[in-house]
Structure 1
């Protein structure tokens, strides 16, 4: 069993950076251990994209954060495709190196952004899970970084004023409160594995996982759609 990092009503500005640093330490060695051919594998969660494309998207997004480059239309599908195309001639190692740098340096910038970039940090972690699925690595949306990810998910959904949800997780000791618990709407209820909860909030397939969801629809949980 695991316990999510403390979730407070007040945003923890250092949490996104801690999540990125912890994910860097887990993901980058994995990537550097893989064959070049693995970078061409399709990523089921991102139709039309390969592992390399997802990594290029992630590294480009973090580079924008570090370098404060947020022109109009940034992070749109068209902008994401341009970022990937700009890295078409890069080696896989160069893309991984840029990703490593971004995961190392973006934390302080995100901390100072007042919450505006917290969802981006969470999205980077979700994309790391997408890559693990493509590579056949178990616990794609779980592992030792899960407590920080759940804490950030709770913080992000609260900041968004998202639909309220109480989650009783099979593999986490304490219940998790997500969204804006204002009393305007009774909280929904989720019972199941933490990775399944993450998949629902990220709009990823749940692969036939057993779970219970009441008082809210699956489509209402997606924070990236």
Structure 2
């Protein structure tokens, strides 16, 4: 997959990723019983599935409405967004999330140099968190995987993570992630794409079969 190694930004990619995930996730969530929204989100300690969804919907609506005050996306800001939606029905949270996943892509596309592209990737990761918590298949993979991996490559470069050559079982071509240059020998990953995403986002990889050499897991974590 050469797109993950390409420095040319595709401004439509974040919106495309959000739309693909919207079309799969929203119908799934609307079919789940109310009790499922109270399940703990293992990837987000202290949050429930509903809390993750409320955070996601709030973040995307901030993008749509251009509301980025100081401290936005801090733990305190995230908690306030969740609390602001505490009295909402599950359906209302999902309505807002669907709107955000529909409208945010165009706004993100218009930001110079892809400044908000990482928000779309984070939303896709949280969708994986929700799937994982619900015991659904497709966590950190699915129809949006190729676009998500392309965004992952870009974000790891921008955040200066170590160079890494990834031979991914379920992707046709090797991926090049992290810094473009440097004297350090590139690290190497062998495994599946979901495990690669988990490593880069600080999610548990218990029981996964993979190899990582030349870098510590802590060095990869984008959110650590």
Q: TM-score, normalised by structure 1?
A: 0.95
User: Residue 49 of structure 1 aligns to a residue in which SS?
Assistant: coil
1:5 Cα deviation after fit:
5.1
1:47 Cα deviation after fit:
0.9
Between the aligned partners of 2:5 and 2:23, the Cα distance in structure 1 is: 23
Q: Compared with structure 1, are the counterparts of its residues 82 and 208 closer, same or farther at alpha carbon in structure 2 (3 Å cutoff)?
A: same
Aligned length: 223
**1:174 partnered with 2:173:** yes
**1:10 partnered with 2:8:** yes
- Contact conserved, 1:4 with 1:146, CA < 8 A, in 2? no
Between the aligned partners of 1:156 and 1:12, the Cα distance in structure 2 is: 13
Report the counterpart of residue 218 of structure 1 in structure 2. Answer: 217
User: Residue 58 of structure 2 aligns to a residue in which SS?
Assistant: helix
User: Where do residues 88-107 of structure 1 align in structure 2 (5 Å cutoff)?
Assistant: 88-107=86-105
Unaligned runs of 5+ in 2: none
Unaligned runs of 5+ in 1: none
Report the counterpart of residue 156 of structure 1 in structure 2. Answer: 155
1:7 Cα deviation after fit:
4.5
- Contact conserved, 2:4 with 2:149, CA < 8 A, in 1? no
Report the counterpart of residue 206 of structure 1 in structure 2. Answer: 205
Moved over 6 A (4+): none
Between the aligned partners of 1:170 and 1:182, the Cα distance in structure 2 is: 25
- Contact conserved, 1:4 with 1:147, CA < 8 A, in 2? no
Between the aligned partners of 1:89 and 1:146, the Cα distance in structure 2 is: 34
1:208 Cα deviation after fit:
1.8
Report the counterpart of residue 143 of structure 1 in structure 2. Answer: 142
What is the CA deviation profile of residues 111-169 of structure 1, one whole-angstrom value per residue up to 9, with x for unaligned ones? 12222211111110000000001101023111121111111111221222321111001
1:82 Cα deviation after fit:
0.2
Report the counterpart of residue 41 of structure 2 in structure 1. Answer: 43
Between the aligned partners of 1:105 and 1:154, the Cα distance in structure 2 is: 24
Between the aligned partners of 2:138 and 2:80, the Cα distance in structure 1 is: 31
